[in-house]
Structures are given as C-alpha cells and as structure tokens.
C-alpha cells in the first residue's frame, strides 16, 4: 500500500515535471497579422481592405496595413512600419484602428484556447496611438471577466508593450477579448501588433550541488543530487511546493510515513536570504555523457511554474 502510494506520488510529480518542459508554446495564431484578416482573430469593428487617405475615416473601422497614414490623412506615424518588421517596407501588417463610438464593441478577440488549470499565462501585445487626441484604453476580458486595462500612454507612433499574467485557476479554456471604453470620435485612433499568449514560466536561480563547482553528477541511479533554489530580496522560496521540484524529470526524494519531500529552507550561501534545498532522486541514464546543462522545474503553491538552469559535469561511472 505504501509502495503503491509512493509510485503514485512519483508518477504525478514526474508528469508535472515533464509537462513543464514544454513551455513557451504560442497559443495564438497570426498574432503578427502577416496571415491577413480573419485568421486567428476576429473583430466587431468593420474591416476595410482599401487604402486611401480617408478609407478609415469612419469610427469603428479597422484595416491591416503597414502605415496608418495610408488610411487616414491625419494619422502621422513616422518613418517606420508595423512592430514585427518595422524596417522592411515589403512586409509587415498591423491592425490599424479607428476607435468605435459605440460601447462594448469587441476590437479584437481570438478563438478560445485550451489552458491547464492552475497554470499562469502571459498575454501580451504592442500598441501605438496614431494621433495625440483621446488616447485609447482597452479593457482585457478573459472568459467574460474584466481583468485589466491597457492605456496607450506612449508618444504618437511609439510602440508600447502590454503584458498581463493570468492565473487559470480551475479554468480549462480561455477566451480573450479587448473592448475599448474610450468612445471619442476625434482621436482614439491606434495600432495593435504582435499578440501573444503562452504559459508564463518564472525564471529562478538554481545551484546544482550547492557550494560545489563543477557540479559533478555521476547519474548512476544511486543516491541523491542536492539542488538549491536561491531566494532573494524579491523572491521568497517558501512560495515553492518542494514536492513538485524536479531536475530534468528526476523527482524529489520522499521520506517517512507521510511521504514528505526531502527538502529544507536555509540560507546556505549566507547572503541573508533563505534558499530551498531539495534532494533529487538520481535516475540512471537521465543524462548523456558530455551533457553540460541541467534544468530545474517545479510549481508554486499558488499555481504557476518556474524553471532555472545550471551547469553540469557528468562523471563517467565505468
Ligand atoms: Ca505585424
Ligand atoms: Ca477616431
Ligand atoms: Ca554548484
Ligand atoms: Ca541564500
């Protein structure tokens, strides 16, 4: 019975550890608008295909193009183009918008994506206003809940990045929408580009074999490999769930009847900040001879993943 539960816990930890390896997968399609209109996004605004200095004169319209001035004579954008490839005149679309005067119209939305419960996701895009009047604001809704507001507070034509971290909680899908509460007709004109949604992996500082360098690992399936995750003035290591820490898929050693993770909180490097030391169960054959980098992964108690790397020196065992 005890053995079964150990196997079960290890299996869960291994699955969690392996699944953190596949991070930074882009969940949106056509975030840079290079594939044209209606691919990977939709809008309740009216799409305008034709260029001309008055084609985006009407409020609540948008185009995909390289320069706002091509669509509206009052929009001075400067010498550069979209955010993705600003210096290449041959390519480069952005979403060029004349803000709507009608409330609650969706400027941009993407097809619903699948997410993993408890994980943290990073949603970002770049925005620039096309004229100084009535700087636009955009409310971000995720699953019909307003979670944040973007304000285009740069200079005219200056790209400003927006980045929001969202914790999925129990959600298994996410539907993102941008809705502008700015209803001015004069002004409220802007460009959007390079939308992105991917899992947010917090980067942590790790020390494989604390206080030892090189970090020799003989990876023969015997014993444990100690790993430290370093705390700092801005990072409290007690936010980490020690049972979820893994080194390239190798799990923490569990001990005792309660099957607690073999881990301790101590300031091992005497810098005044507590560190988390975990003992990783060595699994034979995890590393190839000559491998020089190890990756530590895990999860926070509050949800969300982290990752950190350190050098390795694989010691031959025969
Ligand atoms: Ca673009
Ligand atoms: Ca306008
Ligand atoms: Ca070390
Ligand atoms: Ca420390």
3-state secondary structure 247-288: ECCEEECEECCCCEECEEEECCCCCCCCEEEEEEECCCCCCC
Closest C-alpha to 73, from 95, 98, 45, 49: 98
* Nearest ligand for residue 34 CA: 1
CATH of domain 2-21+202-314: 2.60.40
pLDDT digits (tens, 9 = 90+) for 267-289: 999 999 999 999 999 999 999 98
pLDDT digits (tens, 9 = 90+) for 204-230: 999 999 989 899 998 989 999 999 999
**Which residues belong to CATH 2.60.40 in the chain?**
2-21+202-314
For residue 214, say if its preceding peptide bond is cis, omega within 30 degrees of 0: yes
How many angstroms does the Cα of residue 153 sit away from the middle of ligand 2?
A: 16
Q: Are 66 and 60 in contact (CB under 8 A)?
A: no
CA proximity to 120, closest of 159, 166, 154: 166
Mean pLDDT along residues 24-38: 94
Q: Which ligand lies nearest to the CA atom of residue 208 in the structure?
A: 3
Residue 273 C-alpha to ligand 4 middle, in angstroms?
4
Tell me, in angstroms, the distance from the centre of ligand 3 to residue 310's CA.
8
Closest-lying ligand to the alpha carbon of 265? 4
- Distance from the CA of 85 to the center of ligand 1, in angstroms? 7
Residue 41 Cα, ligand 1 centroid: separation in angstroms?
13
Q: Tell me the per-residue pLDDT of 88-138, one tens digit each, with 9 for 90 and over.
A: 877 899 999 999 999 999 999 999 999 999 999 999 999 999 999 999 999
Residue 20's pLDDT band (boundaries 50, 70, 90)?
A: very low
Measured in angstroms, how far is the CA atom of residue 171 from the centroid of ligand 1?
30
* CA 32 / ligand 1 centre spacing (Å): 4
Q: What span, in angstroms and rounded, lies between the C-alpha atoms of 164 and 235?
A: 19
Ligand 4 midpoint to CA 307 (Å): 18
- Whether the predicted pLDDT of 11 surpasses 60: no
pTM of the full structure = 0.81
Q: Under CATH, which number does the domain 46-199 receive?
A: 2.60.120.260
The CATH 2.60.120.260 domain(s) of the chain lie at 46-199
Q: What is the pLDDT of residue 23?
A: 55
Contact 81, 32 (CB under 8 A): no
Is 243:252 a contact under the CB 8 Å cutoff?
A: yes
Please say whether the beta carbons of 285 and 222 come within 8 A.
no
Q: How confident is the model at residue 17 (pLDDT cuts 50, 70, 90)?
A: very low
Phi, psi of 8 (to 5 degrees): -65, -45
Residue 125: CB atoms within 10 Å: 25
Contact (CB, 8 A) for 121 and 198: yes
The answer on pLDDT for 176 being more than 60 is yes
Q: Counting ligands in written order, which one lies closest to the CA of residue 189?
A: 2
Question: Comparing C-alpha atoms, which of 189, 218, 202, 215 is closest to residue 285?
Answer: 218
């Amino acid at each position: 019975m005890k053995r079964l539960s150990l196997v079960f816990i290890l299996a869960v930890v291994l699955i969690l550890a392996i699944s953190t390896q596949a991070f930074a997968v882009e969940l949106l399609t056509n975030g840079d608008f290079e594939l044209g209109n209606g691919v990977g996004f939709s809008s309740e605004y009216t799409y305008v295909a034709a260029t001309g200095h008055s084609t985006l004169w009407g409020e609540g319209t948008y185009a995909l193009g390289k320069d706002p001035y091509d669509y509206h004579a009052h929009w001075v954008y400067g010498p550069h183009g979209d955010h993705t490839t600003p210096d290449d005149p041959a390519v480069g679309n952005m979403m060029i918008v004349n803000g709507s005067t009608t409330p609650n119209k969706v400027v941009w939305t993407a097809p619903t994506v699948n997410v993993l419960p408890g994980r943290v996701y990073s949603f970002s895009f770049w925005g620039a206003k096309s004229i100084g009047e009535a700087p636009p604001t955009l409310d971000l809704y995720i699953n019909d809940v307003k979670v944040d507001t973007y304000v285009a507070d740069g200079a005219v034509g200056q790209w400003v990045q927006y980045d929001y971290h969202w914790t999925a909680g129990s959600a298994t899908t996410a539907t993102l929408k941008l809705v502008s509460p700015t209803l001015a007709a004069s002004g409220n004109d802007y460009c959007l580009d390079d939308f992105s949604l991917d899992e947010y992996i917090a980067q942590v500082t790790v020390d494989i074999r604390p206080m030892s360098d090189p970090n020799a690992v003989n990876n023969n399936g015997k014993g444990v490999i100690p790993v430290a995750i370093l705390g700092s003035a801005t990072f409290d290591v007690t936010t980490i769930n020690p049972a979820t820490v893994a080194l390239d898929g190798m799990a923490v050693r569990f001990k005792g009847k309660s099957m607690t993770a073999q881990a301790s909180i101590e300031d091992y490097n005497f810098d005044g900040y507590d560190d988390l030391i975990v003992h990783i169960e060595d699994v034979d054959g995890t590393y190839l001879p000559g491998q020089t980098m190890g990756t530590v992964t895990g999860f926070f108690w509050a949800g969300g993943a982290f990752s950190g790397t350190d050098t390795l020196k694989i010691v031959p065992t025969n």
